[in-house]
Structure 1
Amino acid sequence: MNEADGAYVTGFRERLGLPGIVDIHTHFMPEQVMRKVWEYFDSAGPLIGDREWPITYRDEEQVRLKTLRGFGVQAFTSLVYPHKPDMAAWLNEWAADFAARTPDCLHTATFFPEHGADSYVEAALEAGARIFKVHIQVGDFHPGDPLLTKVWGQLEDARIPIIIHCGSGPAAGEFTGPEPIAALLRRFPRLRLIIAHMGAPEYTEFLNIAQGYDGVMFDTTMTFTDFFESADPFPAAEHERLRYFGDRILFGSDFPNIPYAYGHALYALERLDLGDDWLRQVCHDNAARIFGLG
C-alpha cells in the first residue's frame, strides 16, 4: 500500500468520523479466474473500451486483503460473474468458501441464464448469500431471458441486493443500456438492483428509472474519477439528483482492478462538494443499514 494513499484514506475516515468504509464493489475470485481477468485488462480489449487499464493492486489474495483492511475497509464483496454456462454454480461454491474464511467479506453469489439457475441460486440463498452480482456486458445476455424468470422472482422475494453492470460503459454490449432494466423492473418492481458505475454512461436514464422504483440503488464505482470523467463524464446538471438519492448511493471501488490509487475514488467523491453527511451516507451508513453492519 502506498503510504501517501493510505494517509489520505485514513485522513478521509477521520475527518468524517467513520468507523470504517464499506466498499460494495470489490473483486475476489478463484486465482485462475482473476489471472484471466488481469490478462484481459492487459490486452486493452474491446470490453474495456480498447484503452490502457493498468491494474494498480495486482497482488496475491492475502496481500490484497491486507491492503483493503489497511485502508480501513470494514466490509467488502467478492464479486464473481460468469461469462458462459456451467460456471456460476462453481463460482458460488468458491465465493461461499471465501466468505466463510473471510468474515469481513459479504457473502457474494452470481448467476447466468441457463437451465438449473434457480436451483443454484436457491442453494446460494440457503447458504447465506447477502449480495449477488450480474454482469450484462460480459455475460452478453438480456436480463429478461426466460431462463432467469424464476431467479428474478426468488431474488425479489428474498429482498437481496443485486449489483448489476448494465450501463453501456466502458463499451456497449447488445443488451446493455436502460431499456432492458426498465423492462425487467416492470415485471419485478420490488427488485433491489444496485446499478453499477452509476449506470455509466447512461447516467440520466438510470436516474430516471430510479425515480419510479424505491428499490433501485447505485454504486459509485469508478464514477467521478479522472479516468472515467475523461471518457464518460457525469453530467453537471445531475449533481443535485446525487443529493436527492443520497440514501440510495453506495461506495464501490472496483478494487483491485483500478488504474489509479484507491484514495482517488474517495477524493473524487469529496470534490463533488455535496457535504460531509452525504459522504458518510455513501461511504458507510447506507451499506451499514442495508447489510446490518455495525
Structure 2
Amino acid sequence: MSELQVEAAVPPAEDAEVTARWQRLGIPGLADVHTHFLPPRMLRRVWAHFDETGPLIGRAWPITYRWSEADRVAHLRALGVRHFTALPYAHRPGMAVDLTEWALEFADRTPECAPSATFFPEPGVLDYVRSALDRRAAVFKVHVQVGGFDLRDEVLDAVWGVLAEVGVPVVIHAGSGPVPRAGLTGPEPLAGVLRRHPTLTAVVAHMGAPEYEGFIELAERYPRVHLDTTMVFTDFFEETAPFPRALLPRLADLQDRVVLGSDFPNLPYPYVHQLEALERLEMGDDWLRDVLWHNGFRLIGASAVR
C-alpha cells in the first residue's frame, strides 16, 4: 500500500485575510464544526476518491490543502480556528472502533480538536458508542451517502436515544449531494429519527444540499437541529447546488442554529472563500458572530477544557 502523498505547505495568499475578518467582528476566532483529520491510510483513500470524482459528479475537485497533518493543524491555528473537529466516518462494518480510537488520540495531542467519533449500523454499536462517550467524545459523524445505510435502521435506535439524552452533537451527511442514494439520502430518513428522538442534537452537513428547504423545515420543527455551512454559498456549490435566495429569511430566523463548517482540508478553494461566501449574504454582523463563533463554540468548544 502506497504512503500518503503530501505537498509542501504553501498557504493560499488569500488566507491572510481570515484573521482580519473575524477580528472585525470582535469574536475570539472561529469555531469550525466540520473539518476532517483522518488516519493516513483512510485519508489517502479519501484524497484518491476526490482525484477520481470528476467522472462521478462531472467536475474536478482539487484538494487545496494536501499537506502533512502537522502543517494542516498549524494552518488552522494560524487562521484563528480555535475549535475544530476530526470527524472520521465509517463506511462499512468493523471500521468505527479503530477510527474513533485514532480520532480520540488525535484530540489528546491536539487541544483545539473536539474529541470525535463515528458509528455504523452493526452488532455492538451501542456498546462502542457508550465507550466513546465515556472517553469524552464530544461530536460524532455519520455519512449516509458514503456508508449507504438508513438512519432509521433499528440497530441505531438506541444509539440515537443515548446521544439525544446526553446532548452530544452528531454531524450527519444526509443530503443527496453530490450523488444521491435512493431512499437513504434526503430529509425523510433523518425526519424519521427525529420523530422518535426529537431532542437529538443533529448537525446537518452542507445544510442538506441540495434539499435545503426540507432540512430547514426540520430545523424549524426540532429545536436541537443545526445546519452547518460547509461549502454552501461558495462559488463551487452555487454552480451545481445553488441555495434558493427565497429561503434566506428562514435561515436568518435560525441564527442560533447555523454553524460554521468548511470541510478543510478537502477544499477546492482557499479557506477564506467560505467566510467571503457567508459575508456576501449580508445577513448582518450579529448573524455572522453567531455562525462563525458562538454557535459552534456552544456545540464543541467546551470539549477543549480537558
TM-score, normalised via structure 2 length: 0.93
Q: Which amino acid counterpart does residue 77 of structure 1 have in structure 2?
A: T
Corresponding position: 1:81 with 2:92: no
User: Counterpart of 2:228?
Assistant: 219
Corresponding position: 1:64 with 2:77: no
Kept in 2, the 8 Å contact 1:24–1:251? The answer is yes
Matched ranges for 1:270-289 at <5 A: 270-289=279-298
Kept in 1, the 8 Å contact 2:64–2:269? The answer is yes
Cα gap change, 1:217 to 1:42, in 2 (>3 Å): same
Corresponding position: 1:231 with 2:222: no
User: Counterpart of 1:268?
Assistant: 277
Q: Distance in 1 between matches of 2:12 and 2:248?
A: 32
- Where structure 2 has 5 or more consecutive residues not aligned to the other structure, the ranges are 1-9
Q: Distance in 2 between matches of 1:121 and 1:262?
A: 32
Aligned residues: 293
Matched ranges for 1:186-201 at <5 A: 186-201=195-210
Kept in 2, the 8 Å contact 1:6–1:70? The answer is no
Kept in 1, the 8 Å contact 2:138–2:300? The answer is yes
User: Counterpart of 1:128?
Assistant: 136
Kept in 2, the 8 Å contact 1:64–1:256? The answer is yes
Match of 2:261 among 244, 252, 266: 252
Matched ranges for 1:14-53 at <5 A: 14-44=23-53, 49-53=57-61
Cα gap change, 1:8 to 1:127, in 2 (>3 Å): same
Kept in 1, the 8 Å contact 2:142–2:172? The answer is yes
Q: Distance in 2 between matches of 1:75 and 1:249?
A: 16
Corresponding position: 1:117 with 2:125: yes
Q: Distance in 1 between matches of 2:61 and 2:158?
A: 37
TM-fit CA distance, 1:158: 1.1
Q: Distance in 2 between matches of 1:16 and 1:49?
A: 37
Cα gap change, 1:244 to 1:43, in 2 (>3 Å): same
TM-fit CA distance, 1:3: 5.8
Q: Which amino acid counterpart does residue 93 of structure 2 have in structure 1?
A: P
In structure 2, the residue corresponding to 1:70 is in which secondary structure? helix
1:8-64 CA distance string (max 9 Å, x none)? 101101211121101110000001100110001001167x62421000000010010
TM-score, normalised via structure 1 length: 0.97
Cα gap change, 1:292 to 1:28, in 2 (>3 Å): closer
User: Counterpart of 2:4?
Assistant: none
TM-fit CA distance, 1:290: 2.8
TM-fit CA distance, 1:241: 1.1
User: Counterpart of 1:209?
Assistant: 218
1:231-277 CA distance string (max 9 Å, x none)? 00000100111110010000000000010000000000000000111
Q: Distance in 2 between matches of 1:233 and 1:219?
A: 15
